[in-house]
Structures are given as structure tokens and as C-alpha cells.
Amino acid sequence: MNKKACAFYDERDCKQILLSAEEIDRITTRLARAIEETYKDSDRRLVMVVILKGSMPFAADLMKRLALPLELEFMKVSSYGAGTKTSGEIKISLDLKRDDLQDIDLLVVEDIVDSGRTLFRLTQLLKNRNAHSVRTCTLLDKPSRREVDFVPDFCGATIPDEFVIGYGLDYDEKYRNLPFVGVLKPEIYS
Ligand code: IMP
Ligand code: MG
């Protein structure tokens, strides 16, 4: 395959485009307004915690639309390997290094909520560390897959139970650079 012939050569592995770049743009703008409304009267520091790697493009677009003083931190949390099924436990391979948690509002930004285990456990952990507040913002949610009682505070779009790729989301580390969200053809992972 000539990778240079088409910038988005991976597009052929998509069964369907779920969110176009234009739709993602509208979603992030709407989420930014809702987040501003929530924090506008707070006099605490607002810290966006970007969950690597998947939420990087989403967080980057979202933060540019937020007309609020904002600080940026990163965590790397994983519950998935190369497969498409959750493994249950979460592993923190890059932790948040702040010693002022009790004084700050944390906004955890995630690409997708599936079983809900990752954000359920992560928000529990950050609350146990006495963060002043912990809220979550996800681009995508698959509520039909939920295994624990978790509801994100801000959600871009709910989607059916299908494995999606693009705009940060990967299958086996590929497809993160697609500018849209698409459904991966099942024959790629089965
Ligand atoms: P949860 O802990 O089951 O909610 O899993 C959340 C994590 O699983 C996300 O941060 C993604 O890394 C991964 N994940 C879940 N569904 C998908 C998908 O459809 N495509 C790509 N990654 C996914
Ligand atoms: Mg992820």
C-alpha cells in the first residue's frame, strides 16, 4: 500500500463514519459552553486531567474552546491491551503529581466510557486523595456496555455497542490520527 497516496488510508478499515470532523467540532463547542457554565463562579484552580493516550486530540480541541483559566495535567491509565474487551482492573502508568488537590477542581477528560470501570475507579481514587471536586468529560459513551454505576458529568455523544476508532481512539495503537470517529470493520479484529 502506498501510504502517501491517501492521507487517511486507514479509512478503508472503517465500516461507517459515526462522527465527522464537523460533528466533532460542534460537540466540543457545546461541551465547552456547558463546562464554562459549571465552573464560571468557582474561584479555585481548574485542572484538566488528560487521560493518555486516547483523549489527547479531544482534550486539545476542547481546551482551546474553554474561555476559563485552565491548567493541564496528564495521567496514563489503561484497562485494555490489543483486544477489544475490558480486562477489569486499571493500571496507572503515569500518575498525577499535584500536592494541592484539596484546593483544586479536577476535570478528567476521557475519549470513551465503555464498561465504566476506568473512570469509576479513577474518580474514586482522586476523591480519596481529597481533590476538592472531580468531574468527568467524555467524548463518547457506550451506556449499553456499563458494568458499574458510572455516569459522566459531560458527554459528547452516546453511541451503540460497536468498536470505534479515530480522533484518538485506537485499535492496537492504530487509527488514532483519523480526523473522524468510525466503526472498525469486525473482520479487522476477529
Ligand atoms: P472502560 O473502563 O471499560 O470504560 O474502558 C474505557 C477505555 O477502553 C477507553 O479509554 C478506551 O481506551 C477503551 N475503549 C473502550 N471502547 C473502545 C472503542 O470502541 N474503541 C477504542 N477504545 C475503546
Ligand atoms: Mg483510553
Position 79 scores a pLDDT of 72
Domain coordinates of the chain in residue numbers? Answer: 3-38+45-78+88-189
For residue 1, give the C-alpha cell: 500500500
Position 82 scores a pLDDT of 44
Q: Is 120 in the pocket of ligand 1 (CB under 6 A)?
A: no
Nearest ligand, CA of residue 142? 1
Ligand 2 centre from 110 Cα, in Å? Answer: 7
Strands 164-165 and 181-184 turn out to be antiparallel
3 state SS of 166: strand
pLDDT tens for residues 125-159?
999 999 999 999 999 999 999 999 999 999 999 99
pLDDT tens for residues 51-93?
999 999 999 999 999 999 999 999 999 875 445 555 557 889 9
Catalytic site residue 141?
no
By alpha-carbon position, which residue is closest to atom 3 of ligand 1?
115
Sign of CA dihedral 155, 158, 164, 166: negative
Q: Is 169 in the pocket of ligand 1 (CB under 6 A)?
A: yes
Q: Is 117 in the pocket of ligand 1 (CB under 6 A)?
A: yes
Q: Is the peptide bond before 127 cis (omega within 30 degrees of 0)?
A: no
Ligand 2 centre from 4 Cα, in Å? Answer: 28
Distance CA(79)–CA(117), nearest Å, equals 8
CATH class of 3-38+45-78+88-189: alpha beta
> Ligand 1: which atom is nearest the Cα of residue 111?
10
**Intra-chain end-to-end CA distance of the chain, in Å:** 22
Distance CA(5)–CA(29), nearest Å, equals 32
